């Protein structure tokens, strides 16, 4: 999905200050509702790609906030959530958080013995805690889970993650989403299908060193784990598709501008 901003031409007429500012000297604050991208380094590094594309898609409707934390796991992320997610209802000083992606698992899936390793059941428990945090209910936030993507063992100098283990965490994420009835972007499956994998395959898992090196994964993963621009484009496309199909009330066309169109602001008839 390619996006290009459009700009309304500036009118040649001049207007009085009272027309533009209204009569109130102390206007009530009007905060933009928010879409939080919550995750690890893959989210943290998305500001010039995924976050920028979402900001363009939701121009004048939602603020996109990057809350990615490099190296973090789901339990570590939950600790941060307790500190940054509002504990009060939306108001003129507390923006409503309408959407939040939950994108952990890349670090949780490190092999046992690695300090970042999180056992599978504990990972599932903390995904649940994040998605059911009281603030999520208070804000009527729609959480969207994103499964960890596959890894490419061929690019690793040390084998701290494996293709097979990461698949298990992707499956666990899907299971939590299904249990909670939360929408999920199954990024693991999307990437793997693009790489040539089929669900009924008995061949060694693509991405593992038991399988031939895969060019598609090489193009999507810059170092075997982190995303290239092409990978972020896929995440954006999949998020847009999911929101359009499962949360249509939160597509841009169904959300109002926070501040009115300039013609409405000036009382100009629209042709």
Residue 116 token pair: 């970042």
Residue 150 token pair: 């596959």
- The answer to whether residue 110 is domain-embedded is yes
What pLDDT, on the 0 to 100 scale, is given for residue 19? Answer: 42
- The answer to whether residue 42 is domain-embedded is yes
Helix intervals (H) in 132-214: 134-138, 163-180, 187-194
pTM recorded for the entire structure: 0.89
Q: What's the pLDDT tens digit per position in 6-39?
A: 434 334 333 333 344 444 566 778 899 999 999 9
Kindly tell me if the per-residue pLDDT of 107 is higher than 90. yes
SS3 98: strand
Residue 271 binned pLDDT confidence (cut-offs 50, 70, 90): low
Residue 4 binned pLDDT confidence (cut-offs 50, 70, 90): very low
- Return d(Cα 145, Cα 100) in angstroms, integer: 8
What pLDDT, on the 0 to 100 scale, is given for residue 49? Answer: 96
- The answer to whether residue 19 is domain-embedded is no
- The answer to whether residue 118 is domain-embedded is yes
Active-site amino acid positions: 41
Give the end-to-end CA distance of the chain in Å, rounded to a whole number: 29
- The answer to whether residue 174 is domain-embedded is yes
What pLDDT, on the 0 to 100 scale, is given for residue 25? Answer: 62
What pLDDT, on the 0 to 100 scale, is given for residue 94? Answer: 95
What pLDDT, on the 0 to 100 scale, is given for residue 134? Answer: 97
- The answer to whether residue 3 is domain-embedded is no
In this prediction, residues 236-251 reach a mean pLDDT of 99
Kindly tell me if the per-residue pLDDT of 59 is higher than 80. yes
Q: What ranges make up the beta strands (E) of the chain? A: 34-39, 63-68, 97-103, 142-146, 184-185
Specify the number of domains making up the chain: 1
Residue 58 binned pLDDT confidence (cut-offs 50, 70, 90): very high
Q: What are the DSSP calls for 101-135, one per residue? A: EEE--TTTTSPTTSTT---HHHHHHHHHHHHT-HH
Kindly tell me if the per-residue pLDDT of 204 is higher than 50. yes
Domain of residue 158: give its range: 30-250
Kindly tell me if the per-residue pLDDT of 76 is higher than 80. yes
In this prediction, residues 37-51 reach a mean pLDDT of 98
Kindly tell me if the per-residue pLDDT of 1 is higher than 70. no
Domain at 132, CATH number? 3.40.50.1110
Kindly tell me if the per-residue pLDDT of 171 is higher than 50. yes
Kindly tell me if the per-residue pLDDT of 3 is higher than 60. no
Residue 270 binned pLDDT confidence (cut-offs 50, 70, 90): low
Q: What is the chain's mean pLDDT, rounded? A: 92
Percent of the chain beyond pLDDT 70? 90
- The answer to whether residue 17 is domain-embedded is no
Kindly tell me if the per-residue pLDDT of 108 is higher than 60. yes
- The answer to whether residue 11 is domain-embedded is no
What pLDDT, on the 0 to 100 scale, is given for residue 27? Answer: 76
Kindly tell me if the per-residue pLDDT of 226 is higher than 90. yes
């Amino acid at each position: 999905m390619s996006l290009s901003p459009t700009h309304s031409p500036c009118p040649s007429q001049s207007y009085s200050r009272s027309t533009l500012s209204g009569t109130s000297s102390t206007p009530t604050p009007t905060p933009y509702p928010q879409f939080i991208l919550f995750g690890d380094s893959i989210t943290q590094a998305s500001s010039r790609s995924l976050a920028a594309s979402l900001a363009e898609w939701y121009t004048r409707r939602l603020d996109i906030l990057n809350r990615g934390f490099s190296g973090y796991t789901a339990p570590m992320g939950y600790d941060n959530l307790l500190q940054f997610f509002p504990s009060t209802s939306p108001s003129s000083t507390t923006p409503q958080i309408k959407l939040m992606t939950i994108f952990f698992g890349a670090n949780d899936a490190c092999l046992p013995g690695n300090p970042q390793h999180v056992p599978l059941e504990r990972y599932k428990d903390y995904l649940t805690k994040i998605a059911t945090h009281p603030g999520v209910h208070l804000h009527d936030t729609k959480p969207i889970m994103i499964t960890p993507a596959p890894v490419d063992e061929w690019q690793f100098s040390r084998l701290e993650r494996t293709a097979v283990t990461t698949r298990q965490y992707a499956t666990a994420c899907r299971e939590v989403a299904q249990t909670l009835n939360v929408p999920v972007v199954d990024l693991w499956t999307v990437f793997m299908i693009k790489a040539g994998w089929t669900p009924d395959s008995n061949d060694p898992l693509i991405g593992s060193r038991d399988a031939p090196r895969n060019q598609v994964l090489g193009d999507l993963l810059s170092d075997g784990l982190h995303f290239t621009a092409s990978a972020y484009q896929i995440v954006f496309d999949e998020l847009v598709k999911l929101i359009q199909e499962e949360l249509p009330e939160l597509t841009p066309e169904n959300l109002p501008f926070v501040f009115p169109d300039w013609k409405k602001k000036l009382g100009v008839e629209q042709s």
